[in-house]
């Protein structure tokens, strides 16, 4: 689960990681109030106004149909109002959002930490993630912060220092010092950096995060180390033990079909093709997508209805697939192991009737317990649904349907 920058910074602060302080606002008026408060509390002359969307590259991104950048420095309260007006309610396009962009609903008004000027500060990069191959967490740090870390990794990989941490042992003090040293820190900044890395790692582990990316990590002109940005991803499978973090979920940032699917306990991932599919089991779902491709179609989605497919789950699956305007045909591929094929067939027929007239051809392949009975129920339903038992038969029927599109 991705969360917003301001939420990520709330987590960091709880763990004693110094952050660029800010207040989130949902209207230009609230942004102005926030700016006044921050200017008074932190003695800052300026503030930055930062769009809160689930995508990076905001600093270089631009509002659709305008010139406003997604992150901007405000030198007066009037500036804050203007920038917030340009951002809130409008669509921001960045290198990470794709051309359609993302709507900005909130801005973070934060203290200016680049005092007295940009040449006095140093922007660095620190990321923590899981290295599956080494079965370790890895901290990656670079002196080349603020910019695209992918570029650094490609062209100057020697500028990224990596430190692997055995999860059973945890981060050792010498490792935190190694990173601070690798980033060229000395004196007070070195001590600050050791503390920063240590607390950041603790936050990463204790929140069950799968990624923390702080870009830039800033060394201020008075040698403080702080997080100016925070990209945080929490492992969905661990949310059950973090009720407070689960509240950070912002469904307006997610694909609406995927939100509806997860509310129905369906594993759904939207894709760009024209043949929708509904399958039980992730492995069979992957194989089914291959079959669709081999038959000349393109899968419109991945959809795993899980082990206990019944009329209700099938109906929810149908509705979600049909909301995708690109879908021109549907392949249902269910293996009746735990669930019997005749029950699934009845479920398909009931779901079809509940939804009404489905405008696209449907092929239902049922294999396993009571497969023949399932095919009979489909064939005798009188609906525009074709049955199949063998996989090759289903593939042939998909091929015919796709060819006719």
Active site residues: 125, 213
Cβ 359 to ligand GDP shortest distance, Å: 42
113 binds, among ligand GDP, Mn ion, none (CB under 5 to 8 A by kind): ligand GDP
58 binds, among ligand GDP, Mn ion, none (CB under 5 to 8 A by kind): ligand GDP
Cβ 229 to Mn ion shortest distance, Å: 3
146 binds ligand GDP (CB under 6 A): yes
34 binds, among Mn ion, ligand GDP, none (CB under 5 to 8 A by kind): none
Q: Which stretch binds ligand GDP (CB under 6 A): 27-35, 112-120, 175-183, 196-204?
A: 112-120
Distance CA 4, CA 231 (A): 7
Count of residues near ligand GDP by CB under 6 A: 18
The answer to whether the Cα torsion of 346, 309, 330, 101 is positive or negative is: positive
Distance CA 232, CA 8 (A): 6
> Which 3 state secondary structure label does DSSP give 317?
helix
Q: Which is nearer to ligand GDP, 176 or 230 (CB)?
A: 230
177 DSSP assignment: H
The DSSP annotation for 28-79 comes to HHHHHHHHHHHHHHH--S-EEEEE--S-S-TTT-EETTS--BSEEEESSHHH
Distance CA 318, CA 260 (A): 12
Q: Choose, by CB under 5 A, the member of 5, 144, 229, 253 that binds Mn ion.
A: 229
139 binds ligand GDP (CB under 6 A): no
Annotated binding site: 50, 57-59, 113, 123, 215, 229, 280, 337-339
59 binds ligand GDP (CB under 6 A): yes
Q: What angle do CA 135, 285, 323 make, to 5 degrees?
A: 115
Q: Interaction with Mn ion in 157-216: which residues (CB under 5 A)? A: 215
Residue 248 CA to chain centroid, in angstroms?
A: 13
Residues sharing a CB contact under 8 Å with residue 233, sequence separation 6 or more, in sequence order: 1, 2, 3, 209, 210, 211
Cβ 12 to Mn ion shortest distance, Å: 14
Give me the residues that bind ligand GDP (CB under 6 A), please: 20, 48, 50, 56-59, 71, 73, 112-114, 118, 146, 215-216, 228-229
């Amino acid at each position: 689960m991705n969360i917003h920058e301001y939420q990520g910074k709330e987590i960091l602060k709880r763990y004693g990681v110094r952050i660029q302080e800010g207040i989130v606002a949902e209207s230009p008026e609230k942004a102005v109030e926030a700016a006044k408060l921050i200017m008074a509390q932190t003695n800052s002359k300026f503030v930055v106004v930062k769009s809160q969307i689930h995508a990076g590259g905001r600093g270089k991104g631009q509002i659709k149909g305008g010139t406003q950048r997604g992150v901007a420095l405000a030198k007066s309260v009037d500036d804050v109002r203007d920038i917030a007006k340009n951002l809130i309610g409008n669509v921001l396009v960045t290198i990470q959002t794709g051309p359609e962009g993302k709507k900005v609903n909130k801005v973070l008004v934060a203290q200016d930490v680049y005092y007295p000027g940009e040449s006095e500060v140093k922007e660095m990069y620190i990321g923590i993630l899981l290295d599956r191959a080494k079965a370790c967490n890895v901290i990656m740090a670079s002196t080349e912060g603020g910019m695209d870390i992918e570029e650094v990794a490609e062209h100057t990989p020697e500028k990224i220092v990596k430190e692997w941490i055995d999860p059973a042992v945890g981060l050792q003090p010498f490792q935190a010092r190694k990173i601070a040293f690798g980033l060229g820190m000395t004196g007070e900044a070195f001590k600050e950096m050791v503390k920063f890395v240590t607390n950041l790692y603790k936050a990463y582990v204790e929140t069950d995060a799968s990624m923390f990316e702080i870009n830039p990590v800033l060394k201020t002109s008075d040698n403080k180390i702080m997080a100016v940005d925070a990209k945080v991803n929490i492992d969905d499978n661990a949310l059950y033990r973090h009720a407070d973090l689960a509240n950070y979920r912002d469904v307006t940032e997610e694909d609406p079909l995927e939100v509806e699917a997860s509310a129905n306990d369906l594993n759904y991932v939207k894709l760009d093709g024209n043949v929708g599919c509904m399958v039980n089991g992730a492995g069979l779902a992957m194989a089914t997508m291959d079959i669709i491709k081999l038959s000349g179609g393109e899968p419109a989605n991945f959809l795993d209805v899980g082990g206990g497919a019944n009329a209700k789950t099938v109906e929810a699956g149908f509705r979600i697939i049909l909301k995708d305007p690109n879908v021109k045909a549907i392949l249902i591929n269910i293996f009746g192991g735990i669930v019997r094929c005749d029950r699934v067939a009845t479920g398909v027929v009931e779901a079809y009737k509940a939804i009404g007239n489905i405008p696209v051809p449907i092929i239902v392949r049922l294999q396993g317990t009571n497969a023949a009975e399932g095919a009979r129920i489909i064939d005798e339903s009188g609906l525009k649904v074709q049955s199949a038992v063998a996989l090759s038969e289903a593939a042939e029927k998909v091929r015919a349907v796709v060819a006719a599109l």
